[in-house]
Amino acid sequence: MSNTPAELKYAKSHEWVKKLPDGTLLIGITDHAQAALGDLVFVETPKVGRKLAANEACCVVESVKAASDVYAPVAGTVTDTNAKLGENPELVNDAPYEGGWLWKLQPDNLADVDGLLDADGYVASIA
């Protein structure tokens, strides 16, 4: 059983979203997704300043098994990326909800996050 924190929101495409106090969003892939991929060897995050549409492929995570696209759960502009992943892509495996976050997003509409799955909904979607 994978770890699915109740305070986060989730996309069916296996991204998690955390609302930050400044109104931005922290985004990464779920524990379930990283476990399915296996040991990550490379992460390509979106460029800061890039405007993303909801459900747009914008990031690539590559494991010893396969490369996989990561999608923007909501529309917005990338404000930061996790620079540590360049040297340590395994942070996504080790701590997907902590040090393994992928990018920060200034959402076009913060209310769009409410349309994502809660933890129970995500767990049901992967069952």
pLDDT in tens, 81-97: 999 999 999 999 999 99
Decide if pLDDT at 107 tops 90.
yes
pLDDT in tens, 22-52: 999 999 999 999 999 999 999 999 999 999 9
CA 10 to chain centre: 9
Domain of 98 in residue numbering reads as: 26-109
Q: What share of the chain is helix, strand, coil (3-state, %, to 5)?
A: 25, 35, 45
- Count up the domains in the chain and report the number: 1
Q: Is residue 9 part of a domain?
A: no
Decide if pLDDT at 6 tops 60.
yes
Which has the closest alpha carbon to 68: 13, 6, 22?
13
The CATH number of the domain holding residue 53 is 2.40.50.100
- Report, as an integer, the average pLDDT of 56-83: 96
pLDDT at residue number 99: 95
pLDDT at residue number 87: 95
Q: Is residue 114 part of a domain?
A: no
